[in-house]
């Protein structure tokens, strides 16, 4: 039996029991056998849910890039590490071998050093899905700088908020990006954002679209000439196990985005382990995750997890609809992709298109299909199973979060029998619990409740950058001695988990985690708006879409409502990004509120979802009469 690679169901149960009975010795064995350390740990795990504080492999020293690159050079230096597929199908794909990746990362790391970046400094990376993005991430890790990747679809304001929150010293960006038939002026967005940032000393610019952008004297530098001068070796910085590896921002139900901090050793061990098992990766496979490295999925399962296993990982610059809706399948065919990992929203969008787009291509290389980001509905699951997997590929519905660092609940292909819409069973080391509202654990099967995790796992986020209290309040205060996920779940008669969705004010739109509060804050900036409330409602393709209820100031009421809607969405686009735009905006004279003044979102959610047969108890409302008005004017 191998602790590291589970191959059938019997083995899963054995390994799982062992991992729960003695987590320390379980993870210790894996850490020992499968990674490269400069110094061994003194202690596998110490934790305190009260503080909260979690330390894995304390005392150990390592560099994650040695584990992801250097140690593979002897055995697979000429194997493709990163397979880059450009936006334009006529541009040649790039096979970057492990040897080449080593040289690229070392050169970039040397450039960072020359430009004054030291261990512990924060570097903001705002790049499209081009090889430089993965290289920049790894170059930071090489020298112990903390990377903070910001998804290149975020607006200048969102970028500035993130840069300021962690005082980044440098931004790595490109002149622009290709996205389908469009180009996007990334450098312009950075310039705009940096007007509000004092901490940034240097901006390194990749030339991707040759757009001839303006360079600010003394601050902006083209990257290529610096790389050309740099040496192709760079000694890795020796890091402590618990040194921060990166910050990644995620939205909360209230307030500013949370800079989740992930540390080095535990994150490496857990992402590598889960990659191997959830995708059953074998030598010679070509693995493709369609996420953007701007999200945790890309960090853990495009960059670190695959490379730690010496895998070939595909990076795709473009979009699923360009030049047509067959692009994903064309790429699978072209590169003989074996594992394919995407989001339910992409599946739903592609399932709406003509099947010819799928049937044109040979998908027989595929062995495992995966989904992540939101619950997958049955129809989409079956479409994926029948048309992409041809009923021969196990589907892994992987549940996890930015905060968990790696996949937590998921089938293991060829082991766990899958059931559509179920994430199924916890991976080794993961101990889920369902809790009731009084804070009691609900034991047994065929129950539902709030999903918590009751024992630490190696890749859990250790804090929120600059705000440990918020980390404690958000994740460790709702239930004693547990991590609270924010999700609801049910456990069926055989112990399988099905995630039912968020129980807080976060809405998942097309797999993107959006807090309602920041969107409301953006809307409320509009001079004509007095107050607003955002809720999610079911949407065929996006899973959820956003519905806004807006109260106008008296002066605003005479304005043209369609123009107001446009202006509100423009504001949201500017403040957060186009992904947060509202599909429907209803103007109303009031919002249902409790006596303590809290907006009753439960009611608004039901109205927006066209589910008004049972609105629940409205007697505690301060203004029950407003409910009828809201219902009468609902936008269908
Ligand atoms: C939230 C986390 C983890 C990478 C992408 C999202 C929802 C995620 C599933 C799934 C049902 C899912 C949860 C979770 N979610 N995967 N397989 N089934 N829901 O990361 O942005 O941190 O969002 O996404 O609600 O809490 P994230």
3-state SS string for 176-218: CEEECCEEECHHHHHHHHHCCCCCCCEEEEECCCCCCCCCCCC
Bridge partner list, 149: 125
Ligand 1 centroid, distance to 297 Cα (angstroms): 10
Q: How far is CA 596 from CA 551, 592, 593, 600, 621, in A?
A: 19, 11, 8, 11, 9
Please, what are the domains in the chain? 9-472 (3.40.50.12780), 506-632 (3.30.300.30)
Q: Ligand 1 atom 18: the closest Cα is on which residue? A: 375
Ligand 1 centroid, distance to 400 Cα (angstroms): 5
- Ligand 1 pocket test target in 344, 508, 512, 543 with most atoms within 8 Å of CB: 508
Instruction: Give the Cα separation of 302 and 142 in Å (integer).
Output: 17
- Verify whether ligand 1 is closer than 6 Å to residue 373 (CB atom): yes
Report helix, strand or coil for 604: helix
Q: Which atom of ligand 1 is nearest to the CA of 403?
A: 22
Q: Which atom of ligand 1 is nearest to the CA of 513?
A: 21
Nearest Cα to Cα of residue 187 among 110, 146, 128 = 128
DSSP 8-state class, residue 72: G
Q: Are 267 and 458 in contact (CB under 8 A)?
A: yes
Instruction: Give the Cα separation of 272 and 34 in Å (integer).
Output: 9
Ligand 1 centroid, distance to 253 Cα (angstroms): 14
- Verify whether ligand 1 is closer than 6 Å to residue 423 (CB atom): yes
Question: Longest C-alpha distance within the chain, in Å?
Answer: 73
Ligand 1 centroid, distance to 3 Cα (angstroms): 26
- Verify whether ligand 1 is closer than 6 Å to residue 502 (CB atom): yes
170-174 vs 202-206, strand pairing mode: parallel
Q: Where do the H-state alpha helices sit in 504-549?
A: 516-524
- Verify whether ligand 1 is closer than 6 Å to residue 401 (CB atom): yes
Q: Which atom of ligand 1 is nearest to the CA of 486?
A: 26
Q: Ligand 1 atom 6: the closest Cα is on which residue? A: 373
Four-residue CA torsion sign, 211, 217, 218, 224: positive
- Verify whether ligand 1 is closer than 6 Å to residue 297 (CB atom): yes
Please tell me the predicted confidence (pLDDT) of residue 571.
95
- Ligand 1 pocket test target in 150, 369, 399 with most atoms within 8 Å of CB: 399
- Verify whether ligand 1 is closer than 6 Å to residue 486 (CB atom): yes
Give every residue of the chain whose pLDDT is below 50, as ranges: none
- Ligand 1 pocket test target in 371, 400, 402, 425 with most atoms within 8 Å of CB: 400
Q: Which atom of ligand 1 is nearest to the CA of 376?
A: 18
Q: Ligand 1 atom 5: the closest Cα is on which residue? A: 373
Could you give phi then psi for residue 390, rounded to 5 degrees? 45, 35
Q: Which residues make Cβ contacts (< 8 Å) with residue 325, sequence separation at least 6?
A: 350, 353, 354, 357
Exposure string over 200-221, b if 16+ CB within 10 A, otherwise e: bebbbbbebbeeebeeeeeebb
The string of DSSP codes covering 288-334 is: EE-S-TTSHHHIIIIIIHHHHTT-EEEEE-S-TTSSSTTHHHHHHHH
Q: Which atom of ligand 1 is nearest to the CA of 371?
A: 17
pTM for the model stands at 0.91
- 487: Cα separation from own chain's centroid: 16
- Verify whether ligand 1 is closer than 6 Å to residue 342 (CB atom): no
- Verify whether ligand 1 is closer than 6 Å to residue 296 (CB atom): yes
Q: Ligand 1 atom 24: the closest Cα is on which residue? A: 373
- 503: Cα separation from own chain's centroid: 19
- Verify whether ligand 1 is closer than 6 Å to residue 499 (CB atom): yes
- Determine if the peptide bond prior to 222 is cis (ω within 30°): no
- Verify whether ligand 1 is closer than 6 Å to residue 258 (CB atom): no
Q: Ligand 1 atom 14: the closest Cα is on which residue? A: 401
Please tell me the predicted confidence (pLDDT) of residue 253.
66
- Verify whether ligand 1 is closer than 6 Å to residue 243 (CB atom): no
Ligand 1 centroid, distance to 487 Cα (angstroms): 9
Q: Which atom of ligand 1 is nearest to the CA of 501?
A: 25
Please tell me the predicted confidence (pLDDT) of residue 1.
63
Predicted ipTM of the assembly: 0.99
Nearest Cα to Cα of residue 410 among 428, 424, 390, 400 = 424
- Verify whether ligand 1 is closer than 6 Å to residue 252 (CB atom): no
Four-residue CA torsion sign, 500, 503, 505, 506: negative
Please tell me the predicted confidence (pLDDT) of residue 142.
98
- Verify whether ligand 1 is closer than 6 Å to residue 242 (CB atom): no
Q: How far is CA 399 from CA 277, 500, 516, in A?
A: 14, 11, 22
Please tell me the predicted confidence (pLDDT) of residue 557.
62
Share of residues in the chain with pLDDT > 70 (%): 98
Ligand 1 centroid, distance to 372 Cα (angstroms): 6
Could you give phi then psi for residue 348, rounded to 5 degrees? -65, -40
First to last CA, the chain: 56
Q: Look up residue 416 and give its two tokens.
A: 């766990």
Bridge partner list, 341: 289, 370
Q: Which atom of ligand 1 is nearest to the CA of 251?
A: 21
Please tell me the predicted confidence (pLDDT) of residue 404.
98
Q: Which residue's entry shows tokens 């934790």?
A: 47
Ligand 1 centroid, distance to 103 Cα (angstroms): 35
Q: Are 26 and 439 in contact (CB under 8 A)?
A: no
Q: Ligand 1 atom 1: the closest Cα is on which residue? A: 401
Ligand 1 centroid, distance to 499 Cα (angstroms): 9
- Ligand 1 pocket test target in 513, 542, 543 with most atoms within 8 Å of CB: 513
């Amino acid at each position: 039996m191998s602790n590291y690679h589970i191959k059938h169901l019997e083995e899963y149960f054995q390994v799982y029991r062992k991992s729960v009975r003695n987590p320390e010795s379980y993870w210790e064995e894996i850490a020992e056998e499968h990674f490269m350390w400069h110094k061994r740990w003194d202690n596998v795990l110490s934790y305190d849910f009260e503080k909260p504080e979690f330390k894995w492999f304390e005392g150990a020293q390592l560099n994650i890039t040695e584990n992801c690159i250097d140690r593979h050079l002897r055995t697979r230096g000429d194997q493709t590490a990163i397979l880059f597929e450009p936006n334009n199908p006529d541009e040649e794909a790039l096979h970057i071998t492990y040897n080449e990746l080593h040289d690229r990362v070392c050169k970039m790391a040397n450039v960072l050093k020359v430009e004054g970046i030291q261990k512990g400094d924060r570097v903001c990376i705002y790049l499209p899905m081009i090889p430089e993005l993965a290289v920049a991430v790894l170059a930071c890790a090489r020298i112990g700088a903390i990377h903070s990747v910001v998804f290149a679809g975020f607006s200048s304001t969102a970028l500035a908020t993130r840069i300021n929150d962690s005082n980044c010293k440098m931004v790595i960006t490109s002149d622009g990006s290709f996205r389908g038939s469009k180009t996007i002026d990334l450098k312009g967005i950075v310039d705009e954002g940096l007007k509000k940032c004092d901490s940034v000393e240097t901006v390194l610019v990749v030339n991707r679209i040759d757009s001839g952008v303006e360079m600010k004297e003394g601050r902006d530098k083209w990257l290529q000439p610096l790389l050309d001068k740099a040496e192709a070796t760079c000694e890795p910085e020796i890091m402590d196990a618990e040194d921060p590896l990166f910050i990644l921002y995620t939205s909360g139900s209230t307030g500013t985005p949370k800079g989740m901090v992930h540390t080095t050793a535990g994150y490496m061990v857990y992402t590598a382990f889960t990659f191997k098992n959830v995708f059953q990766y074998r030598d010679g496979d070509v693995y493709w995750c369609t996420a953007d490295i701007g999200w945790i999925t890309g960090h853990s399962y495009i960059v670190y997890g695959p490379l730690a296993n010496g895998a070939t990982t595909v990076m795709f610059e473009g979009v699923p609809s360009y030049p047509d809706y067959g692009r994903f399948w064309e790429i699978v065919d072209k590169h003989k992709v074996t594992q394919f990992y995407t989001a339910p929203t992409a599946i739903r969008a592609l399932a709406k298109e003509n099947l010819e787009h799928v049937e044109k291509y040979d998908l027989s290389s595929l062995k495992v299909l995966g989904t992540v980001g939101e619950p997958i509905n049955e129809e989409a699951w079956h479409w994926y199973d029948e048309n992409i997997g041809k009923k021969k590929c196990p589907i892994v519905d992987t549940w996890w979060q930015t905060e968990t660092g790696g996949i937590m609940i998921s089938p293991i292909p060829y082991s766990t029998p899958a059931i559509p819409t179920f994430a199924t069973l916890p991976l080794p080391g993961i101990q889920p619990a369902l809790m009731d509202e009084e804070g009691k654990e609900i034991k047994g099967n065929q129950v539902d409740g709030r999903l918590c995790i009751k024992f630490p796992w190696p890749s859990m986020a250790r804090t929120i950058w600059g705000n440990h209290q918020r980390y404690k309040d958000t994740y460790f205060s709702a239930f004693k001695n547990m991590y609270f996920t924010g999700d609801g779940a049910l456990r069926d008669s055989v112990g399988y988990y099905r995630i039912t969705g968020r129980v807080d004010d976060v809405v998942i739109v097309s797999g993107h985690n959006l807090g309602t509060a920041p969107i409301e804050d953006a809307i409320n900036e509009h001079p004509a708006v007095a107050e607003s409330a955002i809720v999610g409602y079911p949407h065929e393709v996006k899973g959820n879409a956003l519905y806004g209820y807006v109260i106008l100031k008296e002066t605003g009421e005479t304005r043209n409502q369609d123009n107001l809607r446009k202006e509100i969405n423009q504001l949201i686009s500017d403040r957060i990004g186009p992904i947060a735009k509202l599909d429907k905006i209803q103007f109303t004279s009031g919002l249902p509120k409790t006596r303590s003044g809290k907006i009753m979102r439960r009611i608004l959610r039901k109205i927006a979802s066209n589910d008004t047969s049972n609105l629940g108890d409205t007697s505690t409302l301060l203004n029950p009469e407003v409910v009828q008005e809201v219902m009468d004017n609902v936008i269908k």
